[in-house]
Amino acid sequence: MNGRDLFRYEPIAVGILRIMTGLLFLEHGMQKFLSFPPGKMAGFGWTFAGPPAYAGIIELTCGLLITLGWFTRPAAFLASGTMAFAYFYAHFPQDFFPLNNMGDAAILYCFIFLYLVFRGAGALSIDGDRRSVEVTEVERV
């Protein structure tokens, strides 16, 4: 199996990446506002006490939109910025290294969402795979 064979599955792989990342992101918002799954942040969103509560609104709405693949690019843009802010506001002041400051998930979310801003939703989405610029066969390899 070579690169050309694998390339035809790229929209499906992007769709699966988008769905799984969106579901994980949605879970953070669900915990803050729906208290599911139970945990230390359960119900915290309803207090509207600080940035984590407001981030919960973005996690809930953008997580759902990204999972469904609906308005993926704007939702991913907002989610990416939120995660960049979360890293520098909450994690970076604790320690320089992401492994030590527990900010590695925020960094991954930020860059996966940033990728989706430029790539689009991929397959299995409401938006569909509508890239305005088609990549030529030479550029793919």
Least confident of 34-38, 74-78, 84-88, 91-95: 34-38
Helical axes 51-68 vs 10-34, angle rounded to 10°: 140
- What is the mean pLDDT of the segment spanning 131-139? 48
Closest CA to 113 of 46, 59, 36: 59
Helix ranges, the chain (H): 3-7, 10-34, 51-68, 72-86, 98-101, 104-119, 137-140
Sign of the torsion formed by the C-alpha atoms of 129, 132, 136 and 140:
negative
- The pLDDT value recorded for residue 70 is 95
- What is the mean pLDDT of the segment spanning 62-75? 97
- What is the mean pLDDT of the segment spanning 64-89? 97
- What is the mean pLDDT of the segment spanning 76-89? 97
- What is the mean pLDDT of the segment spanning 119-131? 82
- The pLDDT value recorded for residue 136 is 47
